[in-house]
């Protein structure tokens, strides 16, 4: 660290502001890709309870790719069934429906719930392990100023973002609880209802002490500092949208109740007293989301904090659940919030400073989306920043972040708008009651919303990373950067090679069996998050002579010194090579031999480690888990196969025939820095 004037100065590749789910996901990518990184948070502790609690199927798949889904799967409560409760003709609530919580067959995981503090714990452990203790959240640290040197933004080796950081005392970095001396944690200090920006005050106090400031020059800065984002304000950007008048309370309690479905996820509409959502959680906890009719926000949107107490929230719940009784001895956490749906005007400045998570979109928490979408923003962004900062990928891929994630944020807001209105509204008394909410419509929205809520409906539009035609997707439009220029007809032909793997969507997982040791694997388990692209060679019937020739020809092209496979910039560990080739063939496993039937490039030899036994798989029967029939599920021709590219975030980027090696080469030329070996 150098000192310039009075302040110490240092260079860093990536600076992350905020260590919530979005910041930690970004740090996780940097740890997995070996990028030098600092992550700072103004609070002196992580959260220990409460806040977000829903984990979508997609988030669990992502955790698996990072190496900690097993912890989530063991600890979290699995959500299996949703019960709908509505008033009967006598006005008394009764169970009117049951539906599965997760659409059957959508993912190898079902939606699960656990408090945000545990999710942050898994991230912190994972970051520590993969960064070999080099990345650790620096708490009680916040930015004071941020400047971008516009002259240097296109220079890949420059550190054009200068941030002045302040170090706080323990006292300054400790958030205040709503009820002084209470043993129960409340989340009001982060709630949209009463949260006030305190950065100026914190910096003023800390500036009074010497030695609390430093200057950091970063290649990239990612602002993950939540809904009131300082980074967003420093860049002069805004969130645009609306706040509604609905105020909701949240209680995490161990309930004492005679309500029969308290261990089910329930949506309860009472006749006159508002709505309630029940979320059964880990360790006998249950979360209640309760509409608070007694608390009205003022003209500025702020509510009188002294009126909001756990007792008030419980009393609202008791009225909605009546004639059933509910009470508690133990409350783990509570809060209140107002629903506001907003999206950022900008997602980045000069593709050097990015915003992720709540910093670029806010919405109600009831649909269980906030933490998930925030983590998934960072999952989309992190590998791009990592590969560009290491000089492996072209800077142009960074523009796909806004293109890809703005659409998701907008879809989320639209979904939340519909869902919140239906959930907050009074149930219709009869068909003529136009102001009331139809319970049939509510159920329909829940069923349709399940696909969106799983996180698996995300479909990225055309760009240098997604080879599809601009007009070939319903929800598309160009994604910020130039598309690879495929006509609608050409795209349709490519997609027809594997209709079950839609280009732009995440690589849907099916079980395949290892050629070398007969163990079944979900193919997604082989798409680990380490910054590598995967070329998945669906080799078809490798025992057919003609097909074998096609595969060999493709492998020769792959092995040529000018192919992307050999010219993509190699990097130091843990990113040995940025493109990995996996093979799934459709012949009988027991009729084929790894070393006899598959070209060497598909199972490379290392003088120290021998052959690679972990790259070739068969779509065939297993001893213990039946036959998954991957080719049929993906719609791939079992004789001829095809080639599929999965991006480092598991989204399908390209599909083609073996003969279209040039197209594949062009795809990688579009996004990677290729340099012929000397």
Residues that bind ligand FAD (CB under 6 A): 17-23, 40-43, 51-54, 116, 142-143, 187, 190-191, 199, 224-226, 230, 335, 337, 357-359, 365, 368-371, 374
Angle at 320 between CA 318 and CA 322, to 5 degrees: 65
Name the residue nearer to ligand FAD (CB basis): 334 or 507: 334
Instruction: Say which DSSP state 466 is in.
Output: B
Identify the CA nearest to 526 among candidates 617, 454, 593: 617
Residue 183 vs residues 76, 189, 251, 253, 565: alpha-carbon distances, Å: 24, 15, 14, 14, 58
- Element at 380 (helix H, strand E): helix 370-389
Query: Please, what's the b/e burial string for 582-598 (b: 16 or more CB within 10 A of its CB; e: otherwise)?
Result: bbbbbbebeebebeebb
For the bound state, the minimum distance from the C-beta of residue 20 to ligand FAD, rounded and expressed in Å, comes to 2
For the bound state, the minimum distance from the C-beta of residue 224 to ligand FAD, rounded and expressed in Å, comes to 5
For the bound state, the minimum distance from the C-beta of residue 27 to ligand FAD, rounded and expressed in Å, comes to 11
Residue 7 vs residues 23, 265, 641: alpha-carbon distances, Å: 26, 54, 61
For the bound state, the minimum distance from the C-beta of residue 595 to ligand FAD, rounded and expressed in Å, comes to 48
Tokens of 218: 């970063």
For the bound state, the minimum distance from the C-beta of residue 170 to ligand FAD, rounded and expressed in Å, comes to 15
Name the residue nearer to ligand FAD (CB basis): 143 or 540: 143
Identify the CA nearest to 502 among candidates 456, 459, 469, 453: 459
- How many other β-carbons are positioned within 10 Å of the β-carbon of residue 158? 14
Peptide bond before 138: cis, by omega within 30 degrees of 0?
no
Strand order in the sheet with 511-514: 520-522, 511-514, 616-618, 579-585, 533-540, 642-646, 652-656
Look-up: residue for tokens 């323990």? 170
For the bound state, the minimum distance from the C-beta of residue 455 to ligand FAD, rounded and expressed in Å, comes to 11
Cα–Cα distance, 9 to 3 (Å, whole number): 5
Residue 216 vs residues 137, 205, 287, 561, 600: alpha-carbon distances, Å: 16, 21, 41, 41, 47
For the bound state, the minimum distance from the C-beta of residue 552 to ligand FAD, rounded and expressed in Å, comes to 48
Name the residue nearer to ligand FAD (CB basis): 43 or 269: 43
For the bound state, the minimum distance from the C-beta of residue 553 to ligand FAD, rounded and expressed in Å, comes to 48
Name the residue nearer to ligand FAD (CB basis): 333 or 538: 333
Strand pairing report for 579-585 and 533-540: parallel
- How many other β-carbons are positioned within 10 Å of the β-carbon of residue 120? 21
Name the residue nearer to ligand FAD (CB basis): 143 or 656: 143
Name the residue nearer to ligand FAD (CB basis): 453 or 568: 453
CB 403 within 8 A of CB 463: yes
Nearest 5°: phi and psi at 64? -65, -40
Phi-psi sector, 254: left (phi>0), alpha (psi -120 to 50), beta: beta
Name the residue nearer to ligand FAD (CB basis): 42 or 548: 42
Helix-strand-coil percent breakdown of the chain, rounded to 5?
A: 30, 25, 40
Cα–Cα distance, 616 to 120 (Å, whole number): 35
Cα–Cα distance, 276 to 270 (Å, whole number): 8
For the bound state, the minimum distance from the C-beta of residue 357 to ligand FAD, rounded and expressed in Å, comes to 2
Q: Could you tell me which residues come within 8 angstroms of residue 317 by beta carbon, excluding any fewer than 6 positions away?
A: 251, 276, 288, 290, 326
Cα–Cα distance, 601 to 498 (Å, whole number): 24
Active site residues: 53, 281, 289, 365
Name the residue nearer to ligand FAD (CB basis): 190 or 603: 190
Residues forming beta bridges with residue 142, ordered by sequence position: 166
Polymer length of the chain: 678
Residue 17 vs residues 7, 22, 226, 322, 591: alpha-carbon distances, Å: 20, 10, 10, 45, 55
Name the residue nearer to ligand FAD (CB basis): 118 or 534: 118
For the bound state, the minimum distance from the C-beta of residue 493 to ligand FAD, rounded and expressed in Å, comes to 40
Name the residue nearer to ligand FAD (CB basis): 158 or 254: 254
For the bound state, the minimum distance from the C-beta of residue 113 to ligand FAD, rounded and expressed in Å, comes to 9
Name the residue nearer to ligand FAD (CB basis): 125 or 197: 197
């Amino acid at each position: 660290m150098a000192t310039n004037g009075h302040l110490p100065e240092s260079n860093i590749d990536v600076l992350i502001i905020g260590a919530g789910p979005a910041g930690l996901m970004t740090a996780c990518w940097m740890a997995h890709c070996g990028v030098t990184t600092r992550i700072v948070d103004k609070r002196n502790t992580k959260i220990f309870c409460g806040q977000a609690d829903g984990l979508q199927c997609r988030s669990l798949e992502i955790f698996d790719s990072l190496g900690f889904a097993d912890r989530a799967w063991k600890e979290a409560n699995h959500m299996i069934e949703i019960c709908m409760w509505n008033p009967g003709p006598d006005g008394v609530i009764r169970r009117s429906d049951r539906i599965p919580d997760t659409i059957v067959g959508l993912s190898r995981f079902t939606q699960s719930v656990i408090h945000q503090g545990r999710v942050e714990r898994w991230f912190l452990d994972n970051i520590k392990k993969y960064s070999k203790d080099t990345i650790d959240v620096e708490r009680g640290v916040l930015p004071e100023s941020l400047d971008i040197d516009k002259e240097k933004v296109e220079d890949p080796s420059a550190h054009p973002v200068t941030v002045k950081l302040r170090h706080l005392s323990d006292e300054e970095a400790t958030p205040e609880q709503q009820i002084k001396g209470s043993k129960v944690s409340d989340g009001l200090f982060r709630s949209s209802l009463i949260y006030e920006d305190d950065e100026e005050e914190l910096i003023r106090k800390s500036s009074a002490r010497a030695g609390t400031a430093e200057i950091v020059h970063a290649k990239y800065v990612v602002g993950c500092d939540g809904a009131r984002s300082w980074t967003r304000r420093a860049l002069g950007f805004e969130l645009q949208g609306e706040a509604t008048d609905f105020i909701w309370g949240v209680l995490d309690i161990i309930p004492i109740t005679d309500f029969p479905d308290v261990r089910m996820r329930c949506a309860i509409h009472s006749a006159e007293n508002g709505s309630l959502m029940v979320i059964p959680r880990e360790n006998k906890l249950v979360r209640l989301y309760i509409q608070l009719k007694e608390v009205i926000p003022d003209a500025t949107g702020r509510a009188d904090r002294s009126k909001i107490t756990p007792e008030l929230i419980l009393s609202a719940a008791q009225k909605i659940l009546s004639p059933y009784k509910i009470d508690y001895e133990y409350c783990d956490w509570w809060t209140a919030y107002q629903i506001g749906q907003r999206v950022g005007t900008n997602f980045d400045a000069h593709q050097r400073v990015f915003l992720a998570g709540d910093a670029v979109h806010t919405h109600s928490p009831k649909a269980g989306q906030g933490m998930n979408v925030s983590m998934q923003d960072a999952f989309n962004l992190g590998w791009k920043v990592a590969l560009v900062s290491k000089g492996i990928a072209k800077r142009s891929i960074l523009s796909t972040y806004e293109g890809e994630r703005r659409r998701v944020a907008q879809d989320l807001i639209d979904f939340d708008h519909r869902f919140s209105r239906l959930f907050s509204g009074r149930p219709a008394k009869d068909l003529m009651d136009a102001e009331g909410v139809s319970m049939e419509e509510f159920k329909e929205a829940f069923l349709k919303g399940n696909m969106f809520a799983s996180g698996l409906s995300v479909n990225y539009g055309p760009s240098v990373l997604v080879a599809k035609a601009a007009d070939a997707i319903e929800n598309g439009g160009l994604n910020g950067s130039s598309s690879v220029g495929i006509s609608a007809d050409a795209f349709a032909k490519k997609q027809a090679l594997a209709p079950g793997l839609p280009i732009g969507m995440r690589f849907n997982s099916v079980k395949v069996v290892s050629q070398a040791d007969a163990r079944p694997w979900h193919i997604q388990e082989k798409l680990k998050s380490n910054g590598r692209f995967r070329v998945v060679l669906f080799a078809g019937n490798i025992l057919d002579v003609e097909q074998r020739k096609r595969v060999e020809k493709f492998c020769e092209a792959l092995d040529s010194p000018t192919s992307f496979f050999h010219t993509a910039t190699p990097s130091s560990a843990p990113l040995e090579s940025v493109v990995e080739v996996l093979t799934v063939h459709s012949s009988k496993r027991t009729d084929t031999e790894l070393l006899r039937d598959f070209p060497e490039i598909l199972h490379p030899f290392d003088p120290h480690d021998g052959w690679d036994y972990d790259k070739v798989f068969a779509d065939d029967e297993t001893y213990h888990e039946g036959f998954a029939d991957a080719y049929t599920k993906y719609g791939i021709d079992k004789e001829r196969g095809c080639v599929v590219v999965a991006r480092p975030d598991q989204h399908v980027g390209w599909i083609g025939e073996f003969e279209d090696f040039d197209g594949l080469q062009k795809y990688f030329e579009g996004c990677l820095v290729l340099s012929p070996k000397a």
